[in-house]
Amino acid sequence: MAEEILLDVQHLTHVFPLGRRMSVRAVDDLSFQIRRGEIFGLVGESGSGKSTAARCVMNLCRPQSGRILYKGIDTCDRAAFRANRRMLQTTRQLIFQDTSSSLNQRMRVWDIIAEPLRLQHVVPPRGSLRAEAAFQMHYVGLDESFLDKYPPELSGGQRQRVAIARALAMEPELLVADEPIASLDVSIQAQIVNLFKHLQQEHGFSFLFIAHDLAMVEFLCDRVGVMYRGRLVETAPTAELFSNPLHPYTQALLSAIPIPDPRRERSRQLVTFHGENLPPGGALREAGPDHFVLRSLGSGED
């Protein structure tokens, strides 16, 4: 039986106007799918369109064209969105990179975690909003002593755990994390990624993980999509992508990963990719099982 597709992004394009005559095409004809229970990583350098794609998926940006099907519902269609608003707002959750702005600095931790339940009028499974917040905090590795603290009293890693607890309180089917570890120390990054892996195994939610740390993506994700200038240039199962990158940009990206061994690091050969080599147009073509690469329409490559 074919795996069920939870999220299906089809030919998504989003343009930011910079004035009367100038604009930036942040996302350009982007298509990808996320299956139920899958962790899909979206990687690329800063400005490649990853965060804009996430915002479109969560209906924080309205794309110029394309479709975003969540559980078969076109969330870009205003009538369909209104008809399914409650379901869409409860089963999809977003974790931002900057917890200093995504968490209300004047609210206590337990109020922050319980706020989605309160707004959606969800009856707390554990009797009260405070008890539910305490349970979710325990789940992400924080004890009850943090319940009455405020975000400025917490470290960056602790604030990110609070943001994760807030998202999980709604028991989402799709979790979108937009570079959730980028602003954290390396040791804390490892803790948060391990937490994500554990929570995904426990809950079974589908996960769109956006990052530029390729080592973390390799450890966490089932499949990976590589973005460059708003376009998806390659997508494949994680092990396949890291062992057999086919697109020149993917090869350049992976060659830049630091090697812990100083001798091997000194002899490491960097692959150079020039943006002008990216052909206009083109389409993703299958190069192997579940492995797709952007090729120009006139390319004779298989």
Q: How confident is the model at residue 212 (pLDDT cuts 50, 70, 90)?
A: confident
The tokens for 215 are 């080592």
Calpha distance 179→186 (Å, rounded)? 14
Comparing 50-59, 89-98, 158-167, 180-189, the range with the smallest average pLDDT is 180-189
Q: Is the pLDDT of residue 260 over 50?
A: yes
The tokens for 25 are 């095409």
Write down the pTM of the prediction. Answer: 0.90
pLDDT at 2: 52
Calpha distance 98→272 (Å, rounded)? 32
pLDDT at 185: 84
Assess contact for 218 and 238: CB atoms under 8 A: yes
Calpha distance 37→35 (Å, rounded)? 6
CA 253 to chain centre: 18
Assess contact for 159 and 141: CB atoms under 8 A: no
Q: Once rounded to an integer, what is the mean pLDDT over residues 204-224?
A: 92
Q: Is the pLDDT of residue 232 over 80?
A: yes
| Residue pLDDT, tens place only, 101-147 | 889 999 999 999 999 999 998 888 888 999 999 999 988 889 889 99
Assess contact for 41 and 234: CB atoms under 8 A: no
CA 298 to chain centre: 32
| Mean of pLDDT over the chain | 89
pLDDT at 1: 37
